[in-house]
A and B are shown apart, each in its own frame.
Chain A
């Protein structure tokens, strides 16, 4: 109960409504692979094919940047909209024009239809690309655009409405002979009725609000009692979040895969299926790693799914890009889940294997052009993998959001066949208002092994500082034997990490490598400390600096390491095993390429201090080590053990000032980085945040009160 409550709270904090799905994204440095990497993209852009003069992107972050890039290639002028906090965001800088549509909260900016309509009028944009999330599946928005004679880049209102409704879409799917999951949808009178329905279908069943999408608010019931509980929860949510009482109760498919078919249809009754995407790796029903194609589908199943998806698209006279989601059980039975009438987050992997630019096709179709491809033209070229890089702590429930400034940020674009779709850059703020996605990291290869190999390399070469990120988890997933064999399901993460994610577990050899790298780095720095330029008064008597006897603490272990150096190569003896470590030893670079006995590793030294503490990101995971000379280590044992004061559980005022807002109350669950209260001092508003996730034990201040420096404000349990 506590766990699910926490999820609810976190979910609510992240975004009160799934339609607010807003993703953050690309940097100025992200020279993005559409341009840099030809292999990922073969789409042709015909400058004579007239579409629109000017297009407004009703979105932010990476997807706004993504759309702008295609527009540029198609010769279309772009208009960005933004909230006030986003005024210097990447998508704003990239667009030809930008209009502020309101303050930070999405309801007042990116969902503010009046302001967006005004922006369209003001800039005379002829078309609007909604991206995903926000207003992308909002039929009211599509209707308002239509009434103003502005083209909505997406399907028509009818298709959005039909597919946006779980019950109607399922009915339509049934009629189009698409496999559907047995179940009931409609208004459920009471818990007894819910139980009756559940028994009819047979346990386990899934219960959720019809109007809610994705996995949000989904409850699984294995018994009558759980059905009653699920009914209470879902009907409450249905009423409060969606104003729509209808519930969906259906057969729950245990251990399913989530595989979706990308479709593309025009206004001339042509529709194509662009193969599938495997999106089974999820946490809390949100996708983390996606790939195309799926290891699981054989050509017949693929065709059957593709044809059903196309049949459904045709049944609703669908035009534009869309996605038909299926659950696939272990015997390759597939069931229609829902259809997303927008561009998906994970569309780039389809682009990689088919060579199509989906945004370009959406714009063409919206203009009324017929599709340029026939089904037989749609290839599966190679393999593509996408990792969603999030600002979140994967060690907590596979990812609790974190916020902060990207103090250093460098995308791994020097690795070949890498595409990074992002909408942020060094210095960008990951804030509480929008989705904490940093980027989509996509790699491509002639086969899956190559794509995964590149992904490993890309993750190792990705520099993200200033916010906690989930690189460690992503890297562990893509090298996990089960994943490598393609043995995945939507329960992959909880199955593989039943006690939660704990980071990479070093093998003996890897541990030796880490120790060798860390000690070499330490010696390199020690040697550099003695390199003065000019003519300083340095002792001419050279010290014997060729042999370093060091003791290293890593986790619970202490290791005796001897390092001797010869130019840029260090010979390191770890527990009697000799390793040769070579690198440039550039102490300023956030990335270091190191060769250990012929094995190349890319490591990141995140911090190091004079007292020998060093943290290194190695194989995706950050390890903390302490390196001391033998002498310092010997003397360290006399140092008193100090009880570490837990300052994460208390929040003290860092300055005298007035409390403006207290954002929590006792009993609230807060996540790390969440705002606790705001203190105003000298007209400066300082947001004080939780140093860890937890439950609020006591609140000692209230809005309007004056507090002194060091005053206790809030205690966590």
Chain B
């Protein structure tokens, strides 16, 4: 019933019964038919299915859009589109739903343009028909044309089986656009229900994949198929739930408690992103002084070189208003990644958490290739790059983490920094086989400090940690006009 109230708020429908017309008697006038179609479109699969959706703890496609976008800003496209399947009785009026199983259009998030599609689970389980795919492709094409992000709210049982290959074609049409949009406009997927089979590739191709805990699943083959093939007993949640994908597989970037939390968080996340590759990253009004000293940082790195500290603490204290939108917080916990602002400007932040362990598991897991990915990304990036060495920068890790040699624009070391090719113990064992007692202290004295890097200009300055925020804000201002380009190439070949 609440859904009806909401719908009434959307369109003034007072006095009209919200029932889908079935096999009407006399033909109505065109204006009447338009109104009827609209009403039907707003009701999706009908009240019973809306109630069922709610019972699952999920919102309807339209409710989701309402929450995501600024009030009154949604402009819907293709409300009259219907599927074109004529097989298996699909052609009957009863099986035609205006708008089919997806709601598409554009609207505003905090005043900024976004294109949205929201799959409607109440219509054929949100399954993807040719028409459904066509609607999505239409907004994607327009998004690229005007330069605005595409947000997908995924809640679909999969392909529209009745349509067969038409449905498959539809998926591929979307995939192609996902690929072509990549790097042009931001693409965000929020998985809010099932997303299985070939359908999973679209979210996987987008820039960010978020999930809703307990009500969303991503997998290629479901538990039944898994059982029949490998005889494994596994639940949907274990196989492809939010926990699996945010902590184990790394397929999803973050998960939220429920639909409402997820959509509100998505609004916040959206504010960090530029609208397209032709737009600058947004600069939000900032109340946090850019010249704020952070005395806390002067003591954050423990004196004992083996004692751990939390890099997230450092991030919080440096960025505007301690706001840090962490990406993949529970995956690969030895690196922290996320968005924040410095004096209002969006910045991406990467930080090492001292939890790396070497061993066979790492090598077997392909650490070389994964490390190379990170190195590649740092080296290839042409955005302003600022690096702070807080403590240990040993060996390859020093090079990889946006070192001067990878075109770091400004590289700082804290007084606690240790930049060397390897730890003193190991180094001494190699340099002086046997008589290593004094040599270790000598090595520590010589290399376990920021000087070797500083004298060579590999770090631009050794800074008081408390001044870190001031310096980063100032440098970003200077670097705002940075121009740098990579050699012409058809495309780069990041190790995957």
Contacts and interface: CB of A to CB of B under 8 A. Distances in A.
B286 A685 contact: no
Interface residues of B, number: 68
Interface in B252-303: 256-261, 264-265, 267-269, 271, 275, 279-280, 282-289, 294-300, 303
A86 B210 CA distance: 44
Interface string A525-560: 000111111101111000110000000000000000
A610 interface: yes
Max chain B C-beta neighbours (<10 A), residue from A530, A539, A610, A686 = A610
B184 interface: no
Contacts of A587: 287, 321
Contacts of A5: none
Nearest to A655: B355
B456 to A, nearest CB: 27
A686 B284 contact: no
Given A632-B67, A655-B355, A537 B275 contact: yes
A84 B112 contact: no
B111 A539 contact: yes
B71 A685 contact: no
B257 A635 contact: no
Chain A, interface size category, equals: 35 or more
A646 interface: no
Contacts of A684: 306-308, 354-355
B92 interface: no
A532 B111 CA distance: 10
A533 B260 contact: no
B356 interface: yes
Contacts of B308: 684-686
Given A407-B313, A539-B108, A610-B265, A636 B295 contact: no
B354 A610 contact: no
A408 interface: yes
Contacts of B258: 639-640, 642
Contacts of A577: none
Nearest to B268: A610
A682 interface: yes
Contacts of B307: 684-685
B298 A427 contact: yes
A543 B54 CA distance: 30
Nearest to A641: B57
A612 interface: yes
Nearest to B54: A638
Interface stretch (B18-26, B58-66, B126-134, B484-492): B58-66
Given A642-B214, A682-B355, A428 B299 contact: yes
B71 A543 contact: yes
Nearest to A682: B357
A588 B286 contact: yes
Contact of B284 (A531, A589, A681): A531
Given A528-B285, A530-B111, A683 B306 contact: yes
A122 interface: no
A429 B6 CA distance: 52
Contact of A681 (B63, B316, B320, B355): B355
A333 interface: no
A586 B321 CA distance: 10
A642 B355 CA distance: 32
B73 interface: yes
A610 B264 contact: yes
Interface in B386-413: none
A29 B294 CA distance: 12
B313 A635 contact: no
B307 to A, nearest CB: 6
B344 to A, nearest CB: 6
Contact of A532 (B58, B260, B284): B284
Interface string B35-60: 00000000000000000001001110
B283 A534 contact: yes
Contacts of A429: 299
A419 B59 CA distance: 55
Contacts of A427: 295-300
Nearest to B148: A537
Interface string A583-601: 0001111000000000000
A534 B299 CA distance: 37
Given A28-B295, A635-B59, A533 B268 contact: no
B187 interface: no
B344 A533 contact: yes
Contacts of A88: 298-299, 303
A655 B355 CA distance: 7
A628 B308 CA distance: 39
Contact of A611 (B58, B260, B320): B260
A637 interface: yes
B2 interface: yes
Contact of A533 (B285, B299, B333): B285
B116 to A, nearest CB: 15
A575 interface: no
B3 to A, nearest CB: 9
A109 to B, nearest CB: 15
Nearest to A535: B280
Contact of B283 (A533, A612, A681, A682): A533
B160 to A, nearest CB: 26
A195 B112 CA distance: 82
B113 interface: yes
Nearest to A428: B299
A532 B285 contact: yes
A638 B58 CA distance: 7
Contacts of A543: 70-73, 108, 111
B357 A681 contact: yes
Contacts of A637: 2
Contacts of B110: 529-530
Given A537-B113, A632-B67, A682-B355, A612 B271 contact: no
A14 interface: no
B215 interface: yes
Contacts of B108: 539, 543
Contacts of B344: 533
B306 A685 contact: yes
A634 to B, nearest CB: 6
Interface in A671-685: 681-685
Contacts of A628: 260
Given A682-B356, A683-B306, A407 B316 contact: yes
B317 interface: yes
A685 B287 CA distance: 38
Interface string B313-326: 10011001100000
Contacts of B294: 426
A426 B296 CA distance: 5
B284 to A, nearest CB: 6
Contact of A638 (B59, B261, B268): B59
Nearest to A612: B264
Given A87-B303, A638-B57, A529 B260 contact: no
A536 B299 contact: no
A609 B264 CA distance: 9
Contact of B321 (A538, A588, A610, A686): A588
Interface in B71-89: 71-73
A405 interface: yes
16 contacts: A529-B110, A532-B284, A534-B280, A536-B275, A536-B279, A536-B280, A543-B71, A586-B287, A587-B321, A588-B288, A635-B260, A637-B2, A639-B258, A642-B258, A684-B306, A685-B308
Given A631-B67, A639-B57, 14 more contacts: A88-B298, A405-B313, A530-B110, A532-B284, A533-B285, A537-B279, A539-B108, A539-B111, A544-B72, A610-B269, A640-B215, A642-B257, A655-B333, A683-B306
Interface of A: 28-29, 84-85, 87-88, 405-408, 425-429, 528-534, 536-539, 543-544, 586-589, 609-612, 628, 631-632, 634-640, 642, 654-657, 681-686
Q: Nearest 6 pairs between A and B by C-beta? A: A640-B57, A427-B296, A588-B288, A610-B268, A588-B287, A531-B285
